[in-house]
Structure 1
């Protein structure tokens, strides 16, 4: 039943570990992507796009905090999760940590598109989560995510029909393998427990198949080749991802690209330099 589990005290040890792994991936993806999006502030090609990506960053940060808040049920505090974890303890996809190609708007848009299609599917698979706080938060996040994919698709079409086509292809070639890590498990047993406990209603394998069958035809329709994917049937949009498609760094297992250490140092620097032991708040929550 949807939302039937109210607290982690109702879970056994394996289920508790699986819930933590699921929430950590959800939160870390959103937080790190938000950090990267901020790099485009006042650098996007139009004021409208600047505002849109800034809003995306704000949305993703808010969503990360919603998921970190659920992790507090398991005994964590936000400052421990964001500012005190070592870089190899983060479990985000390597897609969100990679630096943007300097001045390349196509890089931002391709990443935006690949991630937000995956996020839409992932949220749908959490709508009927057995864990009450997950199910409660999905609707709020979906209401804010609604325009993200539309914005990305509009820009993909705009760039593909102009001089940005080659830049799009270069970005797809770079980013698509890393996007596949969005569907990597922490480990197979944990992933099995996540589904068996009803925390998420679809397996990562099923989500990956839905994602590939969504993004590959869209990219193909823009005249873009999709790396690492092979069509199964000539007259049907069915695709299989080759086994050798994934990068060496998967993110979910704690392995990350070289760029991650620098980004982690950047957003934890002030906290560490000031010797803080908790995240400061501008104002207390109103009663």
Structure 2
């Protein structure tokens, strides 16, 4: 296990690639999801829910900035990581790039729940990271993510209790669940192993994915929803386990650089002002995070 991960000047190539890969998958998810959430401004079902989702979007943008900022230690600037970056280089899950179904609040809430449970699990796996800045920033993000998950669950239970809303939830689940599985897909198998071996994260993608399934499937089923995943009984432990097959995953997975057609439009939308104004650096209205 590496012991010098706090000093960017001492990172070897393996350590640097592992660090960049981990932070990009974390930050890209947060940034792209926040961009999608902003589409709901003044369109949510109530003023209260409108403000809540606006606050959540702001939180996610802040979290993305925290992770992108760590990459500044290895010479990567925010403009390179967002506004001047090749869209094919983004490594977010396709769950966060999909457009919302127009007017379907159930889509936004279910997506939030699926993502926030995964976020809770992966943040816990970073608590003891060997990179000090990662470990130091986890606590702040966790405290805000607790509210996000609570908000999603409260709305899910309300929507699941109504006939028409329940049907919308089921349709949204059928559409979103395969893409939610990509949250635990690798960017590169060897690099993902390095992330764990170096202690940057203390759980594998497979372990986190299994934990996620053990939480979201029973919960959603308790709301009367049918989750599109197979199950089996483990002969050794005699425990019920959920099994993800290759056929259940979408063709575009995000982590490997493949994206849906919706991604190009979204990328153009959040970069066009920067490009049209001929900017060469990003504008900051807040101090750099410590």
* TM bin (shorter chain): over 0.9
Aligned 8 A contact 1:94 1:257 in 2: yes
How far, CA to CA, are the matches of 2:277 and 2:128 in structure 1? 42
| Aligned residues between the structures | 286
Residue 242 of structure 1: how far off its partner (Å): 2.1
Residue 51 of structure 1: how far off its partner (Å): 1.1
The equivalent of 1:22 in structure 2 is 22
| Residue 178 (str. 1) matches residue 179 (str. 2) | yes
Secondary structure of 1:36 counterpart = helix
| Residue 139 (str. 1) matches residue 139 (str. 2) | yes
TM-score by length of 1: 0.95
List alignment gaps of at least 5 residues for structure 1.
none
The equivalent of 2:276 in structure 1 is 273
Cα distance 1:285–1:258, how it changes in 2: closer, same or farther (>3 A)?
A: closer
Cα distance 1:8–1:229, how it changes in 2: closer, same or farther (>3 A)?
A: farther
Aligned 8 A contact 2:229 2:242 in 1: no
The equivalent of 2:149 in structure 1 is 149
How far, CA to CA, are the matches of 2:240 and 2:55 in structure 1? 33
The equivalent of 2:77 in structure 1 is 77
The equivalent of 1:199 in structure 2 is 200
Aligned 8 A contact 1:216 1:226 in 2: yes
| Residue 245 (str. 1) matches residue 248 (str. 2) | yes
List alignment gaps of at least 5 residues for structure 2.
none
Secondary structure of 1:133 counterpart = helix
TM-score by length of 2: 0.94
Secondary structure of 2:23 counterpart = helix
Aligned 8 A contact 2:128 2:201 in 1: yes
Q: 275-284 or 137-146, which moves further after superposition?
A: 275-284
How far, CA to CA, are the matches of 1:12 and 1:283 in structure 2? 32
How far, CA to CA, are the matches of 1:126 and 1:274 in structure 2? 38
How far, CA to CA, are the matches of 2:171 and 2:126 in structure 1? 33
How far, CA to CA, are the matches of 1:199 and 1:214 in structure 2? 24
The equivalent of 2:31 in structure 1 is 31
Residue 186 of structure 1: how far off its partner (Å): 0.8
| Residue 105 (str. 1) matches residue 137 (str. 2) | no
